[in-house]
Amino acid sequence: MLLKKQTVWLLTMLSLVVVLSVYYITSPEQQKADLAGVEEQKAEEKETAATESKDGKTVISGVASDEKFEALRMKLEEQRTKMKEDLQAIVASTDLPAQDRSDAIEKMNELDEVAQKEFTLETLIKSMGYEDALVRADGENVRITVKAQEHSASAANEIIQMVRTELGSLQPVAVQFEPVK
């Protein structure tokens, strides 16, 4: 019985090392100098976000929506991390058949691919001139929230066409515009 526990522990640790290695290899490299620049930009954005007018009232700008986008991104990342942990437990289990474990590995790879595609789409949408974009793709739908000054049906159509060419599927795509404050 002790040998089985040690084997499970060893397989769990090895799978964790492999997953972390793949994550660090595929993640974009960030230099320490760049991180300082990012922190300075965020601090400047927060300083300019809430300013006082002449009569002493506070004027609020786009920080609330930025925080909303970040909160949604974090929530999505937490959900994916939880699903990956569950799948890793399946992979590490010696009680399950090999087919179930290979299916779990495939699902983990699919989760990574979806996250990468979402990031790519967000970058492409931002390059179209929008301030920020949030792409959420589950198995059935693709939901896109774009922060923009103006919105129109033609702009939404451009985004939908770009998503369809990038994903190469016929999933329903919904585009929602959020005003920049």
The Cα–Cα gap between 53 and 3 comes to: 70
Query: For the chain, which residues make up each domain, given as ranges?
Result: 61-179
The DSSP-derived string for 97-145 is -HHHHHHHHHHHHHHHHHHHHHHHHHHHHHHTT-SEEEEEE-SS-EEEE
The Cα–Cα gap between 127 and 19 comes to: 31
- Could you tell me whether strands 142-148 and 173-179 are parallel, antiparallel, or unpaired per DSSP bridges? parallel
Q: Of 118 and 29, which is predicted with more confidence?
A: 118
Here the tokens at position 75 are 């929530």
Here the tokens at position 157 are 């159509």
The Cα–Cα gap between 133 and 116 comes to: 15
Which residue bears the tokens 């090999």?
98
The Cα–Cα gap between 153 and 6 comes to: 59
Q: Is CATH 1.10.645.10 the classification given to domain 61-179?
A: no
**What per-residue confidence (pLDDT) applies to 35?**
40
Percent of the chain predicted with pLDDT > 90: 4
Mean pLDDT of 74-82: 90
For residue range 133-166, what is the model confidence (pLDDT) as tens digits?
888 887 778 888 888 888 888 888 888 888 888 8
